[in-house]
Structure formats: C-alpha cells, structure tokens
Structure 1
C-alpha cells in the first residue's frame, strides 16, 4: 500500500475535546505512516503544524489561529483520520466535508456517523432489525415532560459520547435537574431504563461491509455508573480482556455486534457496547464510530488481545479508508 501522508484531526468543540487530544497522542506515537496533526480548538478555530503538536502535548486547545476551512493542502494527503469524539466530528459533519473534497477518510460515512451518534434513532433502527435495546423515551427541550418509565433511569443527551451530561435518576423529584444538565449538550434527550446488576461488555469491530469482531471485554468499576471521570482516570475502571464468559455467550455478543454494525451501515471501525443481565439477556447499548484511542482505551486493547498490535490496527484502518 503506497501511503505517503496522513492528516490526523483532533480536538473539536464538543465536551470530549480533551479525550480527543489524548487519543491523538496515542495514534501519533503508533502510526506507521507520515502523519501531520491538525487540532480544532474549543473556539472552532484550527491549529496546524507545531502549534497542533503543542496543543496535543498540553492536552487542551482553548483558542485556534485559522478559521474554517484552514489553509491545509488537502490534496497532499492520502487519507484523513478524524479523531473528533462527539458532536461536529463523530456525527457526520466532518465526514461530509471529506466527501465533498473526495478525500478518503477513516471510519463511518455521513449517514452511519449521524445515526450512531443519535441514541434515539440508532435504538429505533436496531430494534426494528430485531436486536434487543434497553427501553427508552425521548424528551425535547421546551416541551412538556411525560416520562412513563419507573426510576431508576438514566437521562442522557441524545447526541453526546463519553458519558458527557449523563445523570442517573433514582426518584422523579430529581428528573428536572437531570434534564437541565442533559439539555446543556443537546436539545434532544433520552430517558433510558436503568438495568440493575448488569455486566457491561464491549467488542471491537473492524471492516467495511464485512466486519470482524475482536474478543469480548468487560468493564468493571466502583462508581455508580461508567461516567466520564471513571472512563478517563487511569485505574478507575478495570478492563477484563477477554471477559470471563462461556464460549456461547461470547459468540452471541460477537454475532450481535457484527449484525448491528451492518444494520447501521458502519464502515472502518466501531466499538459495540452491551449489557448482560443476571437472566442472561443481552441488550445492545450503542455503537461508537470513533472509539477512544488513549493508551488505556478498550478499542485498541481488545484488538491487541485478538492478536493485532496498535500499529497494525492503524495500518488496517488506513487500508479500509482507501477501499
């Protein structure tokens, strides 16, 4: 594969800005091809070259230098690698820009990115395809609130990741405060039934039309749920890879993950998250089309346990983008 140069784009205006820069740091260290970084600061302006590298090292970029579109020689690059977690990066917006340029890029296309980003719409599609999802309701900002679910339940922005803006509600009296928190991130919020005593399983997916699944991992933690701090604080969560599962359950998780990937039209990569109840029922939680690539993120660790090194994983993602 004759790859000359990769453009890695990180940061962004979402609440996952810092996570994105941590992911970029890991990818830059392991990428087997010449790679130039570009960082979108929190104000939406871009940093390039040395300023982008400095921002990645600092772990945050409050202000950028260049408005969009930045002075990038787009056609000097073979592949763009967006590592923009959350809104304006994982939701199809930047993917649409790459499509207009005709520039190959890593990861899901416009429609699949937007669909997987929206927790409500993706649940509807998965449910229609016969995959079990956790019961949920939708609340729009500014409309009357009628929630028929019994607490405890989770209140989540429909379009956000990394557990940003999520609150677990144990009594109706706390619902409005949780909604106010979630509405800071999105005008559309889902209220999702909390499943007590579940195991949280994750599987990494890689491929275009035909995806392959990694071994299944399990996330364990002491916090009330897998919140932002737990996800991105070293040692706060334990990743069991592979998960302690009987072969039949692991195979079922992998099969469900591949089906969900195909139904949602994902390309390149995704991490599929599941809940396993005490009654051995499996629920698809969500698919993340730009999973974390930090040194302690589940996605690269799952592939490492499946026999694919970090540089090999990145090389394969570039190949899939060029396909």
Structure 2
C-alpha cells in the first residue's frame, strides 16, 4: 500500500514538473554560439562578406550596423522590431521614432544579408540574429574586439514606436537618466561606459549637439566642458541656425577605427555629444574612473565592450516557439 501511494505520488509529481516545463521552456531557452552549426554553418562568414562588400563604398556602414543592434535591443528586447516597416498589422514603425528618424541607417545591408542567407539556408536565420552578427562583424572589421555571438533569437511580431521614443537613450539626457535606462535592461555602469565607447567610430548630425555650441542649458553660452579649440572647429562645421543634418565625426582622431581614442577624447574635453562628455565631467560619478581606465588600457575596454555586447544581446530575446523567422526583415510573415 505504501509502495503504491509512493509510486502514484511520484507519477503525479513528474506530470506536474513536465507541465510546468512545457510552459516555461520557450522563454527560458538559452542562446548558443553554435545554434546554427548544423542548419546554417556558414552564417557568420556570409554576414561578414556582405558587410565587407558594403564597406567598400560606405565607410560609415559598420558604425551604423552596430547602432542598429543597440537601438533594436533597447525596445521590446532583441527581436528585430526596429526593422519593421508600416504594413499589415504594423501601424507604426520604430524607424520613424525620434532617435531613429533620418539617422538610423544600414537597413539595405541587413536586407542584403537576409537575401544571401535565404539563398544558402532559407528560412533558418532570424533577422534579430542577423543584427547581432552584423554588430560583431562590424566592430571586428574596424580593428575592434571579437566575441562569440550567442544565437537563437526569433523575430518579433510587433513594433513599438512609443518605446523607441521613450526607452532609447538620447544625446540630451543627464547621466542619471541614461544610467536609469541602462539599469532598466540590466546593464550596469561599466556596461554603459563600455557601450558608449562604440562612439569611437561613426558620425553624428549637428542637430544632436549644436545646443552645446551656442546655448547650453539655456544659458546662451557654449558648454563650459568643451575644449575651446574643439568648440571652434565644431562651430565652423555647425554654424548657428545652419544645416542640422551635417555630419561630424564622433571621434575626430580616428573616425573609422574601433579603438580607445573615444575615451582619450573625453579626458581632453573633446566628447562630441553631451552624454559622451558627461561620462567624465559629471562630478563624483563612478564613470570617471572607468573612463580613465579604458583611456589607458585598450585591452580592458575591448574586454568590457565584448561582455557588454553579449549582455545587451540577451535582453528579452524571443526563443523556442515564440515569434517567427521572418522571410523579409521589413515585414511580418503573411502581411
């Protein structure tokens, strides 16, 4: 009798555990660097080759592709929602949100990567994973660090323009506001400083920093933290009431190379964006010592950046049977 009761109880417990696992396994599935080892073994080289080709005519593309991954993950998690155009059930696109409108770019290269992958292994690689792979390839191609990209994300079915307008850090926010946005997605201060180091390559439009040149915080004067020589250079490039879309190098010393010069620039008050310079110029901030360390130790920066990119790439991914694998990164299947 005791044995029968024990066996029945064990059987019921086993059933309960299996039922619980059936509900939680999709969301708890782990990303893996070998996810496509059998289904699309050349995925990394295909992504890299398309970017190499694009890079020949567009030296900005690597920085732009890295930024796409960042702007995707902070909204809805890393689900390629940023890539969706208006159409079908998508009534608003994240592409037209303030932080992305007329500044997020590289979508055509993502489409080219998707087409190349569809030829080699159709219907296998998600657009969300393409963004993650493209970011790693872009950084490493410009002499930055490399890392094992964790894969297995699936693509989202919705876009979130409101989230893109409110969740993405902007160049006009305080360090406290930026820190809060990073913390909300489980990224710490070191992650914040390391990921900001992606501004070691790429460009920014005058409209995103011109207030620092002429009317900082409504004072009618330039930002006092700006190096005066650098201020003069920027005022020549971005005259008051001039063309706000004029591009300027985020790192004037080596704009197309992924290195530690971004942090050296901060030490010399040559951060282009307000949120760049605040990492070093905010009195009492724990970011100051991190900036100094990265400015003096490229290896430390590269290691922290790679770790932060892996963490960022793990923000709320869709896995298992969640979402879908889009046939076209611009639209949900069947729309």
Q: TM-score w.r.t. structure 2 length?
A: 0.29
Whose helix proportion is higher, 1 or 2? 2
Q: Give the TM-score normalised by the residue count of structure 1.
A: 0.30
User: Greater share of strand residues, 1 or 2?
Assistant: 1
